[in-house]
Structure 1
Amino acid sequence: MEQQGLVKTSEGKHIYLRPVEMSDLDDYYAYLSDPTTSRFTGTQKVFSRQTAASWIEHISKPDSSRVDLMIISQATDRLVGEVVLNDIDPVNRSANIRIAIAGQENQGKGYGTEAMLLMLHHAFGTLNLHRVELSVYAFNDRAIHVYEKLGFKREGIQRDCLFLNHQYHDAITMSILEHEFRERHTPNSCNAGV
Structure 2
Amino acid sequence: MNKQSGSLNGTVVKDFEIDESKVVFRYPNMEDIDDLLEYINSLIEENTFICRKEKVERDDEVDWLKNTLKEIEEKRKVHLVVEFDDKVMGSADVKKKSGKQSHVGELGIGLRREIREKGIGVRLMKSLIDEAKSVLNLEILTLEVFEKNKIAKNLYEKVGFKKAGVIQDKFFQNDEYQDSIVMELDLRD
| TM bucket normalised to smaller | 0.7 to 0.9
Matched pairs, number: 176
Structure with larger RCO (C-alpha < 8 A, sep 6+): 1
Which of these residues, 108, 115, 119, is aligned with residue 117 of structure 2?
A: 108
Structure 1 residues 37 and 56, CA gap change in structure 2 (3 angstroms): farther
Check conservation: 2:9, 2:28, Cα contact below 8 A: no
The aligned residue for residue 29 of structure 2 is 21
| Post-superposition CA distance 1:76-128 (Å, at most 9, x none) | 121111111113347541111111112x1121112221111001012224433
Equivalent position of 2:178 in the other structure: 169
Q: Deviations over 1:38-71 (max 9, x none)?
A: 5221211321122112222221222332222212
Tell me which residue corresponds to 1:94.
104
How is 1:1-194 mapped onto 2 (pairs within 5 angstroms)?
4=8, 7-8=11-12, 10-14=13-17, 15-34=23-42, 35=44, 38-61=47-70, 62-73=73-84, 76-89=85-98, 92-102=102-112, 104-180=113-189
Once superposed, which parts of structure 1, at least 4 consecutive aligned residues long, lie more than 6 Å away? none
What runs of 5+ residues in structure 2 fail to find an aligned partner? 18-22
Aligned-residue offset at 1:173:
0.5
Distance 1:89 1:28 in 2: 27
Whichever residue aligns with residue 4 of structure 1, its letter is L
Could you tell me how far 1:6 is from its partner in structure 2? 8.6
Structure 1 unaligned regions, length at least 5? 181-194
Percent identity among equivalent residues?
Answer: 24
Native 8 Å contact 2:78 2:128 kept in 1: no
CA spacing shift, 1:153–1:66, aligned 2, 3 Å: same
The match for 1:188 is: none
C-alpha distance in 2 between matches for 1:165 and 1:52: 25
Q: Secondary structure of the residue that 2:16 maps to in structure 1?
A: coil
- The TM-score with structure 2 as length reference comes to 0.82
C-alpha deviations, 1:118-155, integer Å up to 9, x for none? 01012224433211111111111111001111111101
